[in-house]
Amino acid sequence: MTNGANDVLDVAVDGSIARLTITRPDKRNAVSDTLMEALEAFFSNPPKDVRVVILAGEGGHFSAGLDLAEHVARNAAETMRHSRNWHRIMDMIQFGGLPVISLLKGAVIGGGLELASATHIRIADKTAFYQLPEGRRGIFVGGGASVRIGRILGADRMIEMMLTGRKYDAEEGLRLGFSHYVCDSEDDAKEKAAELATTVAENAQLSNYVMIQALARIEDMSKADGLFTESLCAALTQTSEDAQEGLRAFLEKRAPSFK
């Protein structure tokens, strides 16, 4: 096992799984530029043997959103550049090629919910709650919520959530799609994350990569373009060595061993 840490993000690598932990419990793991820079540093150059990432928060919360104590007055152009930089880093998490599992607990608010929505598998425990309070603070989302969370909720429900500052609990979040699983406790959630990380890490790397890269983009396409892209992805994966190994494993009634 190898470990790396800075003031805001602890990185622990154990074989094919990297565990990233936001280490700002005194701030309820609020999102800051320093944290975003640490995430960028990892996802721009992950360890070569890592196949899956688990992202969590230290203490009782995943992330309570933007750290307003570090708010810097910016003009419109500076604010837009700042937002676009966060978009770039969130895209690195979503489209970097590594499956990312997030462990959600306590506050998953504002920028914390934006960060969670950039991950591919979201596991909550029963303490998790979700909120987009920007409308109640006279501001607007800037880390990608209007696209990623908008796709989860739909525009109509997201408008109501932002206008009212409405808060959803863990079970409501599961029904809405904020999480894919809800576990009884934090320990159960960690166990589920480890189980799923092992499963995903055993998949063929190419098919994992293609699923991450293609499916969200196909959603943006016309029906005809989406179907054509699907065929390209099928041609790429189904003619690979891993596909041949998967077929042999099925016929031989054994688990596949992908490179």
Strands (E), the chain: 2-5, 9-14, 17-22, 52-57, 100-104, 107-109, 121-125, 129-131, 167-169, 181-183
Closest C-alpha to 133, from 168, 106, 181, 105:
168
- Which residue among 40, 70, 78, 134 is the active-site one? 134
User: In which order are the strands placed within the sheet that holds 9-14?
Assistant: 2-5, 9-14, 17-22, 52-57, 100-104, 121-125, 181-183
Q: How many CB atoms lie within 10 A of CB 206?
A: 17
Q: Are 6 and 32 in contact (CB under 8 A)?
A: no
Closest C-alpha to 165, from 129, 137, 132:
132
Closest C-alpha to 204, from 147, 154, 249, 155:
249
Q: Give yes or no: 58 in active site.
A: no
CA dist list (Å): 202 to 1, 22, 255: 19, 26, 10
Tokens found for residue 32: 């800051």
Q: Give yes or no: 160 in active site.
A: no
- Which residue among 114, 160, 171, 202 is the active-site one? 114
Catalytic residue annotation: 114, 134
